Amino acid sequence: MKALKIGNLCATVPIVQGGMGVGISLAGLASAVAREGGIGVISSAGLGAIYNDYSKDYRAASIWGLREELRKAREATKGIIGVNVMVAMSNFADMVRTAIAEKADIIFSGAGLPLNLPSFLTEGARTKLAPIVSSARAAGLLCRKWFAEYKYIPDAIVVEGPKAGGHLGYKADQITDEHYALETLVPEIVAEVRAFEAEHDCHIPVIAAGGVYTGEDIYRILSLGADGVQMGTRFVTTAECDADPAFKQSYIDARQDDIEIIQSPVGMPGRAIHNSFLERVKQGLKVPKACPFDCIKTCDVTHSPYCIMLALYNAFKGKLQNGYAFCGSNAWRAEKIQSVRELMASLRSEYDSFASRCENFSFKDKLFGAR
């Protein structure tokens, strides 16, 4: 595998660990990935619930929580630590400002287009900015907008396909449409980004996400022009993942037909593992009494069947009878808990093995033939 270079940052392994809230990827997981040469990512979603002992004010607790998680990660590694901040969060600005002030290496931002993200950078800020998009059109629009308004060029761009976990930036009918498959999107977005690069004499690494599970998957995606991959689901069943063991076990116990697309209270489709809580939701048995968080801009408590923050927080704590686990399309393939070091070594071995087998094949066979 080639290193992933984002400005002056260099990940010796081209793997970004996807940010997973609520609480699934905190300092524990992020620092473990960073120690192994990847980019570890802390999710800022839900920190106000996790750190409610510090303050009952959700926003104040979120700021404190992000500072604490970054501090803990920095104590554990000298590797690259990023923060994921969703545009849809009501405290988006707070989390971005905090990440920059605390010198996070990079901010990954999706769940909406982060059109004003560069406006938060302060003089001398070292934090890189990487938007998450789902189409070549969005990538081009964002590049032009950032350059026109802020004279800023994205430090990297993440393309997230419809096989990703959690909230998806696609309509329900697009999720299974091959025209929106990651293998289709990557060349389109790479072409769009390379055209922008040629105009502005720069390089913007493209990172592909959504359904990447094995070293062979990494090889195939990089062969399509991506500079790196982002993986979330694969890191859930690691010893260092910050979720409760019961959350991790739900992945190991899941069958392929347990993975389903749900309609989230925030107005977006999402991918999750079916369980009794989601069954009760379908039967109309869950009704929120109030909104204690005001965490997502698009969530209307008066029409929501449940509080998504409480559901995801309960899942993080292992109380799956009162919540559910978001996951990627390949979650059912999980078989065991292993260390991040073991996982990264396995991915490198799979990559190298597939790469060597491909040496005697044509480019087309490399991508879609040899097994």
State pLDDT tens for residues 81-121: 999 999 888 899 999 999 999 999 999 998 889 999 999 99
pLDDT value of residue 303: 67
Query: Based on the domain organization, do 103 and 237 belong to the same domain?
Result: yes
- pLDDT tens per residue, range 158-179: 999 999 998 888 888 899 999 9
Q: Is 184 exposed, middle or buried (0-12, 13-18, 19+ CB in 10 A)?
A: middle
Which CATH number fits the domain that encloses residue 116?
3.20.20.70
Pairing state between β 106-109 and 128-133: parallel
CB atoms < 10 A from the CB of 330, how many?
21
**CB-CB contact of 134 with 234 (8 Å):** no
pLDDT at residue 302 greater than cutoff 80: no
HSE at residue 206, side-chain half, CA atoms within 13 A, is 31
**CB-CB contact of 120 with 99 (8 Å):** no
Query: Based on the domain organization, do 364 and 215 belong to the same domain?
Result: yes
Query: Quick one: DSSP state of residue 159?
Result: E
- What range does the domain containing 251 cover? 245-332
Written as six digits, the tokens of 326 are 């978001």
- pLDDT tens per residue, range 283-297: 886 666 666 666 565
Percentages helix, strand, coil for the chain (3-state, rounded to 5) are 45, 15, 40
Note the helical H segments in 105-181: 136-150
Query: Based on the domain organization, do 105 and 228 belong to the same domain?
Result: yes
* DSSP 3-state of 4: strand
**CB-CB contact of 139 with 133 (8 Å):** yes
pLDDT value of residue 212: 97
pLDDT at residue 371 greater than cutoff 50: no
Task: State percent of the chain over pLDDT 70.
Answer: 92
Looking at residues 139-144, what average pLDDT do you find?
97
pLDDT value of residue 142: 97
What is the pLDDT confidence band of residue 308, given thresholds at 50, 70 and 90? confident
H or E stretch at 108: strand 106-109
Cα dihedral sign, 11-13-14-16: negative
pLDDT value of residue 322: 93
pLDDT at residue 245 greater than cutoff 60: yes
- pLDDT tens per residue, range 178-190: 999 999 999 999 9
pLDDT value of residue 297: 54
Residues 19 and 85: their CA atoms lie apart, in Å, by: 9
H or E stretch at 206: strand 206-209
Total number of domains in the chain = 2
Q: Which amino acid is at 60?
A: A
Query: Based on the domain organization, do 161 and 181 belong to the same domain?
Result: yes
Query: Based on the domain organization, do 67 and 36 belong to the same domain?
Result: yes
Query: Based on the domain organization, do 316 and 349 belong to the same domain?
Result: no
pLDDT value of residue 363: 53
pLDDT at residue 369 greater than cutoff 70: no
**CB-CB contact of 38 with 15 (8 Å):** yes
Query: Based on the domain organization, do 88 and 219 belong to the same domain?
Result: yes
Task: State percent of the chain over pLDDT 90.
Answer: 80
Query: Based on the domain organization, do 278 and 310 belong to the same domain?
Result: yes
Looking at residues 261-265, what average pLDDT do you find?
87
Tell me which of 44-53, 99-108, 110-119, 355-364 is least confident: 355-364
pTM exceeds 0.85, yes or no: yes
Angle at alpha carbon of residue 76, lines to 73 and 77, rounded to 5°: 90
Looking at residues 255-273, what average pLDDT do you find?
91
Looking at residues 352-367, what average pLDDT do you find?
73
Residues 219 and 361: their CA atoms lie apart, in Å, by: 14
Q: Which amino acid is at 55?
A: S
Looking at residues 139-154, what average pLDDT do you find?
97
Query: Based on the domain organization, do 156 and 295 belong to the same domain?
Result: no
H or E stretch at 198: helix 182-200
**CB-CB contact of 32 with 47 (8 Å):** no
Query: Based on the domain organization, do 118 and 257 belong to the same domain?
Result: no
What is the pLDDT confidence band of residue 33, given thresholds at 50, 70 and 90? very high
- Could you tell me which residues come within 8 angstroms of residue 254 by beta carbon, excluding any fewer than 6 positions away? 273, 327, 331, 332, 334
Closest residue by Cα to residue 167 from 297, 284, 317, 15: 297
Q: Which amino acid is at 281?
A: V
What is the pLDDT confidence band of residue 196, given thresholds at 50, 70 and 90? very high
What is the pLDDT confidence band of residue 147, given thresholds at 50, 70 and 90? very high
Query: Based on the domain organization, do 229 and 137 belong to the same domain?
Result: yes
**CB-CB contact of 118 with 150 (8 Å):** yes
Looking at residues 216-236, what average pLDDT do you find?
97
- Could you tell me which residues come within 8 angstroms of residue 49 by beta carbon, excluding any fewer than 6 positions away? 22, 58, 61, 293, 309, 310, 313
Written as six digits, the tokens of 24 are 């699934």
Query: Based on the domain organization, do 73 and 148 belong to the same domain?
Result: yes
What is the pLDDT confidence band of residue 203, given thresholds at 50, 70 and 90? very high
pLDDT at residue 157 greater than cutoff 90: yes
